[in-house]
Each structure stands twice: as structure tokens, then as C-alpha cells.
Amino acid sequence: MPHLPGHDAHRIAPFSPNEDDDFEIRTVLGHAVEGSSEPGEVLAAVAGIGKGDHEAWFTAWDRLGDRVAAIADAAAVAGHRASASGAYLRASTYYGVAVNAVSALPDSSALAPTFAKQKDAWEAFVNHAPVPVERVAIPLESDSMPGYLFRPAEPTGAALVAVNGSDGSLGGLWASCVAAGLRRGYTVLVFDGPGQQSQLFERGVPFRPDWENVLTPVYDFVAAQAGVDAARVGLYGISQGGYWVARALAYEHRFAAAVTDPGVVDVSTSWTAHLPHSLTKLLDAGDTEKFDKEMAFGLKLSPATARTWQFRARPYGSGGVALGYAETLEQVRRYTMADVADRITTPLFITDPEGEQFWPGQSARLAELTASVSTLQPFTAEEGAAGHCQPLARTLTAQRMYDWLDARLTTT
């Protein structure tokens, strides 16, 4: 077919004039491949929302979640298990976007009830899931982490631990890797780690950088499960989960293979890359008082940035208490693994999407630091696979990463 004049075959037109909203829409649309969304109802819900109308953005997703949850409830009452399962899964995904939206609003009083609706929808999906699933509690120091262990119809003995990012929902994780893994015979574990979902919103547990101390007990738990071969346990991390996974692998070497989607070496660059040089100098000099004063002034002039800060900074606090601006960045700067990456001995598959907007160049950097064990897999705009976590190419992502995992974790 000839190339049409004025047509860029590598660019998909934005779904929203707001870049963050556009990315969120692409992510949710990509989840449709595993039933976690329905493109038509998503696009209808967000149609006409203006660039700066954040209240309307939250309301659209919250109402969509309510509408689809009502469909699910009706199907469940009528005994239509498959229909209820699919609708509960979609509702959980939509409420997940609403949770992120309300987290960034000046008044976040709706955060707790919105997350409760998201969790209720996910739990209802688990109750109607098309495969066996067990609710589990994974020991972590003096506490535990809530998880869900999904069992395939035809198990191979291989297992995959799926690690979410900084703000992803479990419904999104189902679409990103769980469903595809089950079809291939993997037992798949998903869970909320420190700072994620129920740990943050219900328990006030913040992020922590030392995920070797999180994923070591997770490995112990999975390896002990019936039907799981302890020598064939893999690990997957999406978005900021790429850091959690890589960091853990520098110390925990029992996982047989791992995927970072994408590679993340230094979490803080997604924050500091946008700071003016003058503010970076204040931060480096430890002038916390002046830094906080100038940040506060700058955020007053940029409400959109202030909303993003409020949303992104929440998991770095403690017990639900927000940190100061400089204190937050000092915490975020601890999330780096450049100095320990050379300790990784686990075979590592690293996705490298064209146009990575949050951690550009870090997939290649992680591959350089782990050259003896890593496979760097480009994803391109020509394939429709550009952008962070290839939001509109999740089938292609699953095919490539699972083919790679199969060669290392499954028997022939």
C-alpha cells in the first residue's frame, strides 16, 4: 500500500489534549485485550473532557465504574457468572483510574470510598474468576502482604511473581501479564507490596527502596506452593516495578528469570529531570528551607504540576503524612541501583519502548550494567508499541516476554 500524503503511519493521534490523561486512556484501552476494559465505553466516558477539567476526569471514571459494577451485580444475581466476572474486572480497572484521579485533587476526601469500590470490584472478580484463585497472606517481617494466587487449567510447574508499579491496579496487572501467563500454564501470584494499593490506602504503609527484603519472602512463599517447581519461578515488574525487580535481583538470586517492563535504574530522574537548575543546586546543597519555599511558590504558578506532585508524593510519606518537598526528593533519590546492578546474575528481559516518557534511556542503561545476563527488546512506534509499558501493544509484549520466559522456565 502506498504511503498516503500527510499520513504518519507511526503516530497514533492523542485521545486527550492532556498528556497524562492521554497516557491513562491508552493504558486502559490496551487492557481490553484481556477483558479488563471495553474500548467503546471508555472512549464514550471521556469524550469531551477539557484539558484542565480534573473534576470531570475523576467523575467520568467514577461513574463508569459505578455503571459497569451495576451491570456486574445484575449478572451475578441472575447467575450469569462469566458476564459478572468480566464486568467486575472492568469496573475494577475504571475505579483504579478514578483512584489516581482523586489522589491528585485538592480535596481527596473521596479517595478512601473510591478505593473501597475498586477493591470491592476486584474481590467480586476474584469470586467469579474463570480460573481457580486463592487469597493469600505473604509474611513480611512482623506483618503480611495481601495477595492472590492464580492457578492455570494446565499447570507446567512454572510460576510467575507479578510486581505492580507505583500506582497500578490489580485489574491492570491481570491484563498486563496474569491472563497471558495462565494460558501458558504458569501459576501467577499478584500482591500489594509496600506503598501499593491496599498497603498504602488501608494501612498507610509507604514505599521502601530495599525490595530484596520484600521479594525474598515472596519467593519463599511461592516456591513452597503445591505444584510449583522452586527452580522455575520467574519475576515480572511493570513500570516502577522495573526498579523493584532489578533492585531485588541484585541480592536475591533464586528467581530463574525476570522481566523488567521497562528497565529502571534510578527512579528519581523522572522527578529531577524537570527541576530548574537553580532548584537542583539548592537540593544538592541541602538547603531544604529555601528549596521548599521556592517549590511552594513554583507549584502555586503551576496547578497541574502541583496535582501531579500530590499524587506522586503520597506513597513516599509515612502513615499517610506527607513529607516536605526536599524531604520527598531525598527519599526518592534513594531508589537507585546503579551501584549494585553488577550483582545481578538472573537472566533478565528488558523492554525498551520507543518514546519512553518517564525513564528515557534507562532500559539501555540497565542492559549495559547487566550485559552478561540481559536481553534488551526494542518496541517501536511502527509496531504501535511506543510509549511507557507499550500501552497499546500488550499482546505483542506478552508474546515476546513469555516466549523468552518459556525458553527458561518451561519444559519441552
Kindly report the three-state secondary structure assignment for every residue of 216-260.
HHHHHHHHCCCCCCCCCEEEEEECCHHHHHHHHHCCCCCCCEEEE
Strands 257-261 and 348-353: parallel
Which grid cell is 165? 508499579
- Could you list the pLDDT tens digit for every one of the 412 residues in the chain? 334 444 454 578 999 988 889 999 999 999 999 999 999 999 999 998 988 888 999 999 999 999 999 999 999 999 999 999 999 999 999 999 999 999 888 887 899 999 999 999 999 999 999 999 999 999 999 999 999 999 999 999 999 999 999 888 898 999 999 999 999 999 999 999 999 999 998 998 999 999 999 999 999 999 999 999 999 999 999 999 999 999 999 999 999 999 999 999 999 999 888 888 888 888 888 888 998 898 888 888 787 787 788 778 888 876 555 678 898 999 999 999 999 999 999 999 999 999 999 999 999 999 999 999 999 999 999 999 999 999 999 999 999 999 999 999 986 4
Establish how many alpha carbons lie within 13 A of residue 362's alpha carbon, considering only the half-sphere containing its beta carbon: 27
Sign of the CA dihedral running 123, 321, 215, 312: positive
Contact indicator for 231, 265 with CB cutoff of 8 Å: no
pTM of the model: 0.93
The three cell numbers of residue 258 are 525476570
DSSP calls for 165-193:
-SS--HHHHIIIIIHHHHHTT-EEEEE--
Q: Classify each residue of 67-84 as buried b or exposed e, where b means 16 or more C-beta atoms within 10 Å of its C-beta.
A: ebbebbbebbeeeeeebb
Instruction: Please give the Cα distance from 164 to 406 (Å, whole number).
Output: 21
Nearest to 198 by CA among 94, 259, 123: 123
* Residue located via cell numbers 517501536: 380
Is the CATH number of domain 131-267+335-409 3.40.190.10?
A: no
CATH of domain 19-124: 1.20.1440.110
**Residue extents of the structural domains in the chain:** 19-124, 131-267+335-409, 269-332
